[in-house]
Chains A and B, each alone.
Chain A
């Protein structure tokens, strides 16, 4: 831990890196200067707030506080996932259900298998990892579903006209959307260690943990994210496709 030398001064100096991105944004007239500044300010404030909250939660080692923190993470993830499905009604509830189940089942298995303990310093970061990956997967599912329903509008109508149920008429779209939601996790599982040293493993190595031990945690994370994104993608897609139809099984979106 003695090698972790970041302090307020070094952090302030590293702000130069933000200036690099602002320079390119300005020079190339990308029109993203405002977004970069807002992003940086938000990141700094959010991380400081979270840092102090985590310090308190971890220090208190209280089950209710831990669960409250997990609830905030999951709710935020659901709220953000919902935004990707503009035009589809009731997505917050669907996203929340999908993320609660993906996080609950995955953490349940990890705790039951003894891989992690129900203590705040493990529960909070793990649920954050699961919820954020589920959020990305669900967002991709919604985006793909909207685009494919639009592309295959007539095909869906033709299937309905032949007497198909809404589920059968949407089955190809459902499969494609679930695959799209899961593909970043599957791709990163294939390249983990070769292309990137993922966050958890990097963090542990950075903190001086034996790389072999860090790898074991990363393997667990890979399994965990596969399970979480598959649960989240399947649940969100199976609930969301119904929103494209009305109660008379007519395609309305």
Chain B
């Protein structure tokens, strides 16, 4: 098993409040890790640290055996991609959103690739020109997830992406993520409170009061 991300003695403090305390974690390529814990336990902060949205107060995060500070932030974030809970969509249409990853890479948008990705999330070609204000919550979440997947990342971080969605949307997203992990070998780090997703997880990491208390 190849080690892809390693957290060494991570602490994160805000205004003298310790949010994360002495976190050590090794993530291997192709892992599917589910993070659970009560609200405010530090799960999201931990994911934001791994996604390089914030930096630890002390400790180091290694990606492919190199400190993430030694990578260009933009290059690292293309490989370790973070998908938010209740995301905001950009511009006016679904196309604008799926075109953004191309813009990031200074490439012309490839509509064919966009349609292929839409199909992965049970959305047909007609969605490409759909206005984002006309989309349901579940469709918005699927489009946001596809934005992270237009160019396949090494690691996909999902921060409660199915919270508040109906069963149909939850199932679509869950099976899409499972497929990505099984067939494309994408490493998945997911925060969830959903029992079904927890049951399907290969490894659950429980975070409480800023510490990893259980790793099974």
- A interface vs B, CB < 8 Å? 152, 154-155, 157-165, 168, 248-251
A sample of 23 cross-chain residue pairs with beta-carbon separation below 8 angstroms, ordered by A number, consists of A152-B88, A154-B84, A155-B88, A158-B84, A158-B87, A159-B90, A160-B53, A160-B77, A161-B82, A161-B84, A161-B148, A162-B78, A162-B100, A162-B101, A162-B104, A163-B74, A163-B75, A163-B78, A163-B101, A163-B105, A164-B74, A249-B73, A250-B73
Category for how many chain B residues contact A: 20 to 34
Task: Please indicate the chain B residues that have their CB under 8 angstroms from the CB of A163 in the complex.
Answer: 74-75, 77-78, 81, 101, 104-105
User: Are A248 and B52 in contact, CB atoms less than 8 angstroms apart?
Assistant: yes
B69 at the A interface (CB under 8 A): yes
Q: Which B residues lie within 8 Å of A159 (CB)? A: 90, 100
Q: With a CB–CB cut-off of 8 A, which chain B residues contact A164?
A: 74, 100, 103-104
Of the candidates B74, B101, B103, the one having the most CB atoms from chain A within 10 angstroms of its own CB is: B74
Say whether B118 faces chain A, with CB atoms less than 8 Å apart.
no
Q: Are A250 and B53 in contact (CB under 8 A)?
A: yes
Q: Name the interface residues of B93-113: CB closer than 8 Å to any CB of A.
A: 100-101, 103-105
Q: Does B211 contact A (CB under 8 A)?
A: no
Give the Cβ gap from A24 to chain B, nearest Cβ, in Å.
45
Q: A155-B90, A163-B74, A250-B52 are in contact. List 15 more A-B contacts (CB 8 A).
A: A154-B88, A158-B84, A159-B100, A160-B73, A161-B83, A163-B75, A163-B77, A163-B101, A164-B103, A168-B103, A248-B55, A249-B73, A249-B74, A250-B53, A250-B73
Residues of B within 8 A of A157 (CB): 53, 84
Report if B213 contacts A (CB, 8 A): no
B51 touches A161 (CB 8 A): yes
**CB atoms of B53 and A162 under 8 A apart:** no
Cα A163 to Cα B84 in complex, Å, equals 14
